[in-house]
Amino acid sequence: MLISATTAETETAVEPVKKASGKTLWLLAPGVIWMLLFLVTPILMMIYVSFWTQTTFKITPDLTIKSWVTFFTTDTYLSALWTTIRIWLIVLVSTLVVGYPAALYVGLFVKNKTIQTALLVLCVIPFWTSFLIRVLAWRPMLGKEGTINLILQGLGIIHQPIEVLLFSELSVIIGMTQIYCVFMVGPIAFMMGRIDQSIIEAAQDLGAGFWRIFRTIILPLTMPGVVVGAIFVSVMVLGEFATAAALSGRKVNLLGNIIVTQVGSLKWAFAAVVGVVLTLLMGIVVAALLRVVDLRKEL
């Protein structure tokens, strides 16, 4: 009798689990179908097309590695790959340097929730305008007769305009840092808001200074926000082409610019090669960042 009762209880407990599993699968179905149609299938098609035979006027589905060999043996394309990686690293560091103190101030030192919300809204106000306007707005700021040069000359700091501010790699980095900094501020500020203030107060009561509290409490607890922000910034910067085209005068050639140029020339196979390389690069970067912090555990 005892065995029968135990078996019945087990079956009763397992039944809801089976039903829940079935419902979960149905809930996953739209997302899985969406990802298969609009992510996996395009990537597989891009890989397939990258091996097609490309001539000047046409492309045929005869498989060849010629486009891949061209990419990895041409200095121009390897230079673009290195420029993309270099600018991504610089922008990632610059957005962190600018964004972390801002998030620290909003999340830790501003106690009023209304003011916190207002400051975060201020960060996203530039996004009320189009991306292209935000990029082109830097031209009158960075030009030889732009605002920055006029202010520096007016203050007597410089006597000649600084020409490197515009149509250079520096202008691309400045533009990208301003545009993507908010994607670093948001996740870090969110994690700042989750820190229990009693922990910081306890550390202060025990005599810990600000930097020790920051190093041992604040920084570790906000690392998930840093990783999420870094993923956002990395994916968008690695795929960039518009900022480089508008602010560098086409002097800075990123992988995104090469894709645009090759698609404009109807060289789909080579554009697919660059697209696959860029996708692999993004995948490696995201996988490396996810190894820094276990987001499933921390969030």
Whole-number pLDDT of residue 3: 46
What one-character-per-residue DSSP string does 12-69 give?
A: HHHHHHHHHHHHHHHHHHHHHHHHIIIIIHHHHHHHHHTTSEE-SS-EE----SHHHH
Confidence at 19, pLDDT banded by 50, 70, 90: low
Is the pLDDT at 144 greater than 90, yes or no? no
Whole-number pLDDT of residue 99: 93
Confidence at 2, pLDDT banded by 50, 70, 90: very low
Whole-number pLDDT of residue 134: 87
Whole-number pLDDT of residue 42: 94
pLDDT tens per residue, range 203-259? 999 988 989 999 999 999 999 999 999 999 999 999 999 999 999 888 899 999 999
Decide if 185 contacts 119 (C-beta within 8 A): no
Whole-number pLDDT of residue 1: 45
Query: What are the CA-CA distances from residue 4 to residues 8, 10, 12, 287 (Å)?
Result: 6, 10, 12, 50
Tell me how far apart the alpha carbons of residues 245 and 172 are, in angstroms, rounded to a whole number.
Answer: 9
Burial 55-76 (b: 16+ CB within 10 A, else e): eeeebeeeeeeebbeebeeeee
pLDDT tens per residue, range 49-89? 999 998 877 888 999 999 999 999 999 999 999 999 999 99
Nearest to 262 by CA among 271, 250, 275: 271
Is the pLDDT at 15 greater than 90, yes or no? no
Which residue type, as a one-letter code, is found at position 62? Answer: D
Whole-number pLDDT of residue 293: 79
Query: What are the CA-CA distances from residue 131 to residues 87, 135, 242 (Å)?
Result: 19, 6, 9
pTM assigned to the model: 0.86
CATH architecture group of domain 47-132+169-292: Orthogonal Bundle (1.10)
Is the pLDDT at 17 greater than 80, yes or no? no
Mean pLDDT of the chain: 88
Decide if 240 contacts 254 (C-beta within 8 A): yes
Confidence at 116, pLDDT banded by 50, 70, 90: confident
% of the chain exceeding 70 in pLDDT: 91
Q: What is the mean predicted confidence (pLDDT) over 272-285?
A: 96
Q: Spell out the domain ranges in the chain.
A: 47-132+169-292
Which residues, at least 6 apart from 143, have a Cβ–Cβ distance to it below 8 Å?
149, 165, 166
Confidence at 108, pLDDT banded by 50, 70, 90: confident
Cβ atoms within 10 A of the Cβ of 145, count?
9
Tell me how far apart the alpha carbons of residues 216 and 61 are, in angstroms, rounded to a whole number.
Answer: 58
Is the pLDDT at 127 greater than 90, yes or no? no
